[in-house]
Structure 1
Amino acid sequence: MRVVTVAFNPGEELERFLASLAAATARRLVVVIADNGTEHDVVTAAAQRHGARVVGDGTNLGYGAGANLAAADLEEDWIVVANPDLVWKPGSLDALIDAGLANPAAGCLGPLLLNPDGTVYPSGR
C-alpha cells in the first residue's frame, strides 16, 4: 500500500500524521510526501525520521498535481491519498483495505473522519 500526502508549509501535523501511520496498518507501507512549498528541510527531516520518501522541489504544483507526482511510479496494489493533518487510528488503514477487498467493485473508498473532539466530520458530501 502507498500513502501519498501533499505538504504545503506543514507544521507539527505532518509529524503526527507520519507517526500515526505505524499503528494504522500491519501491511507493507510506502509513504511518499509531495513537497508543494515549504522549508524543504522540514519535510525532508520528517520523512527521514519515519522512512518516507519526498518528491518535488518545493514548487507549489497544486494539490492534485502534487498527489499525482507522489503516485507517479506506483507499484503497490493500493493507494491512499490523505491530507497531512490526519491522525490515523490504530488499524484504520487495515480496516479501509479490508473494506476494499470485501467490495471489489468499489472504485474509491473513504474512511469515517472524526473531529478532534470525536464527533463525526461530514465527509463525502
Structure 2
Amino acid sequence: MTYNSAAPLRTYWSAERPAHVEWIVVDNGSTDDSVQVAESLGARVIVAEKNLGFSAANNLGLRSAQGEYIAFVNPDARVVASDLDELASAIDELGGLVSPQLLNTDGTLQPNGRGAPLLLHKILNRASERQQDNGYRLYAADGERRNVFWLIGAVVAGSAATMRALGGWNDRFFLYYEDKDLSIRAWRAGFPVTLLGSVRWTHGWSRETTRIRLMPWVREFDSLFRFYSLYPEFLFGGRSVARRHPEASARSGRLVSGG
C-alpha cells in the first residue's frame, strides 16, 4: 500500500525481482508521483480514488493477487528476492503468519515481533527508546523461529489460503492496530504467528506519530479505542488474557528451533 510514497519506493524497491513474483501496489490517492514511480519499477498498480486506509487497501490487493503466497510489505521495507524461496518454505512448514526479522537502516535488529498488546506495554513502549528484548519488543536470533503474540504490519506473509481464511485485514482500522488484530485472529483460528530469524530484511520504519502532527495522532487514538473495545482484556491484562488467548499466551516469546 502506498500513500505519497514515491521517495521510499525509489529507495527500497529499485532492485529487480524474479519474473514469477507478482508485485501489486495499491495506491491510496497519493498526490505525489507514487503511481508513476511504482509503474516504472515494474509494479501492477491499483489506483484508489481516495485514501481507503491501510487495511482496506491491503484487502484490495489481496483480492487481486493470484499467487500461492502473499506478503504484505510496506514501501519502506526492502524485499530480498533470494530469500523468497526460504520464506515460502517456512510458510509451508509452520503455517500461519510469518515475518522476516527486520533490521533498522544501520543494520541493528528491529523489534517487529511483539508480546501481548497490553495497554501498559503500549505506554511503556512509547515512553522508552531502549531496543532490548524485554518480553514485549521481541527479536528472533539468526536461525531461530520465534512465536510472537503479534507482528508489526511492515511485513506480514502467509499462504493465500490462510490470508483468505482469516478474511484479510479488519478494515474497521483505518491505520494502526490492524496488525495486532490480524495476529490475534490468526492465533484464535489455530494459525501460529512466527518471526523468522534466518531471513532479515531492512525496514526504514517511517512512523508519523513520532512527529508533532495532529491527524496521525487522531487516527492512532481512534484505532486504540476500537482495538481495546474489541479486546478489553488487554486493558489490564491478568488471567483474562491467558484465558481468552491460550495459544498466543502459551507460545509467544518461546524460541522454536530452526529447520
TM more than 0.5: yes
Letter in 1 for 2:95: A
In structure 1, the partner of 2:87 is 96
2:62 pairs with 71, 85, 88, which one?
71
Residue 103 (structure 2) pairs with residue 114 (structure 1)? yes
Residue 2 (structure 2) pairs with residue 7 (structure 1)? yes
The answer on whether the counterparts of 1:27 and 1:94 sit within 8 Å (CA) in structure 2 is no
Letter in 1 for 2:105: P
Q: How far apart, CA to CA, are the structure 2 residues paired with 1:94 and 1:17?
A: 20
Residue 7 (structure 2) pairs with residue 16 (structure 1)? no
Residue 80 (structure 2) pairs with residue 85 (structure 1)? no
* TM-score, length-scaled by structure 1: 0.79
In structure 1, the partner of 2:124 is none
In structure 2, the partner of 1:38 is 30
Where structure 2 has 5 or more consecutive residues not aligned to the other structure, the ranges are 115-259
Per the TM alignment, residue 39 of structure 1 is displaced from its structure 2 partner at its CA by 2.2
Q: How far apart, CA to CA, are the structure 2 residues paired with 1:108 and 1:49?
A: 30
SS at match of 1:119: coil
Distance verdict in 2 for CA 1:97–1:49, change over 3 Å: same
Structure (1/2) with the larger strand percentage: 2
Deviation by residue 1:80-111 (Cα, 9 ceiling, x = unmatched): 0011001223523232112223x1x4111110
Distance verdict in 2 for CA 1:21–1:111, change over 3 Å: farther
Where structure 1 has 5 or more consecutive residues not aligned to the other structure, the ranges are 1-5
Q: How far apart, CA to CA, are the structure 2 residues paired with 1:69 and 1:90?
A: 23
* Aligned residues: CA RMSD: 2.0
Q: Which runs of 4+ in 1 moved over 4 A?
A: none
The answer on whether the counterparts of 1:21 and 1:88 sit within 8 Å (CA) in structure 2 is no
Q: How far apart, CA to CA, are the structure 2 residues paired with 1:21 and 1:68?
A: 25
The answer on whether the counterparts of 2:6 and 2:37 sit within 8 Å (CA) in structure 1 is no
Worse overlay, 30-39 or 112-121? 30-39
Deviation by residue 1:12-60 (Cα, 9 ceiling, x = unmatched): 11123321352xxx471111111113126x1222222122111133411
Q: % of aligned pairs identical?
A: 31
SS at match of 2:99: coil
Q: How far apart, CA to CA, are the structure 2 residues paired with 1:69 and 1:49?
A: 21
SS at match of 1:99: helix
Letter in 2 for 1:54: V
Distance verdict in 2 for CA 1:64–1:51, change over 3 Å: same
